[in-house]
Amino acid sequence: DVNDVANSNFVLNFGCNIFETHTSHIPLSQRLAQRTGEGKTDLVTFDVRLSNTAARSREWVPIKPGTDLAVLLAMCSHLVGQGKVDKDFIETWTNVTVAELEEHLAQYTPKWAEGVSGVPAAKIASLADEFWERRPSTVLNYRGSVANYHGPETERAAMMLEAIAGVLNRKGGRIKAVAAKWKNSYPKPPSAKAKLHILDGEGVALANHHVSHQVLKMIADGKHGRPEIYMTYCYNPAYVNGNCEENIRILKDKSLIPYLVAVDVNYTETAMLADLILPDAVYTERWDWESHASMDHVPEFYIRQPLIEPLGEARDFKDVCCELARRLGEDVAKWMPFASAEEFVRDACENTPEVKAAGGFDYMVKHGTLIPAGAKPKYESHTQEVSREDLAGAILDEKTGVWWKGEPGQDYTGTKGAYKKYVGQQIGDKVYLGFPPDKINKSGLLELRSQFLADAGWPALPSWIPIPEHEQMGEKDLILTSFKVATQTHSRTQGCKLLTELYHENPGWINPKTAEMLGITDGAEIEVRSAVGKIRTRARVTEGVVPGVIAISNHCGHWAWGRYASGNAAPWARDDDPDLKKIWWKNHGVHPNWVMPNAPAPVSGEIRMMDTVVQVTPV
């Protein structure tokens, strides 16, 4: 989904640092910065930390970590209780009634939420009223508010607030993403028959997009089998997963992983443990086609093309896969008949109708991007009627109202993969596109009441779920949260000399009241301990973070990635870079993942990077 901030009057932001780092950061931040700068949109940010986004908002609302859910539920309760609800949207396009919402939400008053979150009840109520009165409005939320134990519930509560206000999939609200659809002439290969069931973790209720950070744990456990070869592609699990010590131990254990292959652009913490390193081409050296969610809600076609040839022994790994297919022959070669990534991109340009009409591969090489002539934003796509032609061969599932390409007598919800055959949703005497399912056999309604969650033992309607570890905190325990900065990108840019000169140290942000309680002074060395490890850094005592929290950015604390990132040279590193003599910094920061357990949210599997309980002491 995409937040249509270019047409929003009011934006509630829960934990997103949009002006520095966020999914679709550049196009989203440009539009929001322009709107707020022109005085057309007000931005209110809830965050545990005074981020640069919070500082540039109309208002920063400090909030206790992991309690965004309580505030969102209270806003929903307040609006419904005041009769401020889009009844037509709720009772046409969702699977609940206004009366059901009113009964369920009565328990979640703003006063209740104040006790949980620390946000005054009057503030919660007034912002909820403003969200309603200044429509179109939208809610921004992502890892800052959902990378914790009950993250999916927070996401559901945000969607419920937007449904109550009637701004879902409407101009200025949260829109179903529109992206370009590339087409190749090559047949789609069949799925592998033999698979190791290690991608979804253990005990995760709805791992619809897999749980990659649990793969090493699953390999160590072994009950679902182990790979003979484990290959990582531009993925550094030794560093990016929680509990670094455990990751390293598993990756080094030959009884668990006999052969480790790392495909990457640099000598990473995982590559240093690998049996084979395949140096990959960087983004300026490769071919690819791209399809991003459009901020303007029209298909946007892009290609990536090399500016230079790959340096040294690096090769675009897609080209390596093509060569491997030819060498393996038989079915592998059959399903990969193209010889290179460039050939694959060329084929897509000549077989995607919109691109071919504009001039195909030659056009895209020259211009790089294409927005088809006459393309218009696709708002309210759920109201699109399904034609008789599209309904041909479809059957109606009476229980859900779903039309799908199943066999007579089949049950939609009980048939594996039925969502792939979804056609439309019956509403009254018409069939609409609705909100098509993704990964599970849900209906075409916005299912605020989830039977899938209920069957897995979780609340059917968005509800308050306490974070267990937070319920058991001692008087001097703190909550560790992480964050990102604009200067660096995830864990992957610290080898860039200029960026790392600007940002190479990440102290722990701590509130003056908390620092006084713990005997910590500004700039003092501190130790941060959790159940899985400990790190040392320096304290930054500041009012820019709420009490009871220590906030440490990621990006830093590498022990590989070369001398700019870590001070450690990679094997076969060259010494002819004159800038090596200009490295003036000795501190390369710390990595908070040493003390973050590699724990998944029990419903979605999202890694819990925002709710770790720690003890902090001066050194």
CATH classification of the domain holding 52: 3.40.228.10
What distance in Å separates the CA atoms of residue 525 and residue 616, rounded to the nearest whole number? 10
Task: Give all strands (DSSP E) within 441-566, no chain letters.
Answer: 478-483, 508-510, 525-529, 534-541, 549-553
Model confidence over 466-502: pLDDT tens digits?
999 999 999 999 999 999 999 999 899 999 999 999 9
Q: Are residues 437 and 497 in the same domain?
A: no
| Sequence-separated (6 or more) residues with CB below 8 Å from residue 540 | 507, 508, 509, 510, 522, 523
| Sequence-separated (6 or more) residues with CB below 8 Å from residue 318 | 286, 287, 288, 340, 341, 344
Q: pLDDT grade, residue 119 (50/70/90)? A: very high
Q: Are residues 434 and 487 in the same domain?
A: no
Q: Are residues 13 and 135 in the same domain?
A: yes
- The answer to whether residue 463 is domain-embedded is no
Q: Are residues 278 and 400 in the same domain?
A: no
Check residue 150 and give its pLDDT: 96
Q: Are residues 289 and 237 in the same domain?
A: yes
Q: Are residues 393 and 355 in the same domain?
A: no
| Sequence-separated (6 or more) residues with CB below 8 Å from residue 393 | 405
* Burial per residue of 266-303, b for 16 or more beta-carbon CB atoms within 10 angstroms, e otherwise: bbbbbbbbbeebbbbbbeebbbbbeeebbbbbbbbbbb
Chain-wide mean pLDDT for the chain? 96
- The answer to whether residue 536 is domain-embedded is yes
CATH classification of the domain holding 579: 2.40.40.20
Pick from 200, 260, 204, 201: nearest CA to 236: 260
Q: What DSSP character marks residue 527?
A: E
What distance in Å separates the CA atoms of residue 264 and residue 273, rounded to the nearest whole number? 13
Q: Are residues 216 and 286 in the same domain?
A: yes
Q: Are residues 429 and 496 in the same domain?
A: no
Indicate the SS3 state at residue 137: strand
- The answer to whether residue 354 is domain-embedded is yes
| Contact present, 481 and 128 (Cβ < 8 Å) | no
Pick from 247, 252, 279: nearest CA to 264: 279
Say yes or no to pLDDT of 193 above 80. no
- Mean predicted confidence (pLDDT) in 183-198: 88
Residue 371 has, within 13 A of its CA and on its CB side, a CA count of 12
Say yes or no to pLDDT of 258 above 90. yes
- The answer to whether residue 348 is domain-embedded is yes
What distance in Å separates the CA atoms of residue 62 and residue 481, rounded to the nearest whole number? 14
Tokens found for residue 608 = 């819990």
- The answer to whether residue 389 is domain-embedded is yes
Q: pLDDT grade, residue 412 (50/70/90)? A: very high
Q: What is the pTM of this model?
A: 0.96
- The answer to whether residue 38 is domain-embedded is yes
Q: Tell me what percent of the residues of the chain surpass a pLDDT of 70.
A: 100
Model confidence over 509-525: pLDDT tens digits?
999 999 999 999 999 99
What distance in Å separates the CA atoms of residue 614 and residue 70, rounded to the nearest whole number? 23
- The answer to whether residue 538 is domain-embedded is yes
Model confidence over 422-470: pLDDT tens digits?
999 999 999 999 999 988 999 999 999 999 999 999 999 999 999 999 9
3-state helix/strand/coil string of 531-561: CCCEEEEEEEECCCECCCEEEEECCCCCCCC
* Domain span including residue 532: 468-618
Instruction: Give one DSSP letter per residue of 267-307, joined into a string.
Output: --TTGGG-SEEEEBP-GGG--EEE-PPPTTSS--EEEE--S
Prior bond of 136 cis (ω within 30°): yes
Q: Are residues 58 and 111 in the same domain?
A: yes
What distance in Å separates the CA atoms of residue 445 and residue 343, rounded to the nearest whole number? 41
Indicate the SS3 state at residue 349: helix
Q: Residue 61, Cβ neighbours under 10 Å: how many?
A: 21
Q: pLDDT grade, residue 23 (50/70/90)? A: confident
- The answer to whether residue 185 is domain-embedded is no
3-state helix/strand/coil string of 223-250: CCCCCCEEEEECCCHHHHCCCHHHHHHH
- Mean predicted confidence (pLDDT) in 580-605: 96
CATH classification of the domain holding 227: 3.40.50.740
Q: Are residues 19 and 167 in the same domain?
A: yes
Q: Are residues 52 and 158 in the same domain?
A: yes
Q: Are residues 354 and 486 in the same domain?
A: no
Residue where a domain stops, chosen among 348, 370, 392: 370
Say yes or no to pLDDT of 601 above 80. yes
As for how many domains the chain has, the answer is 4
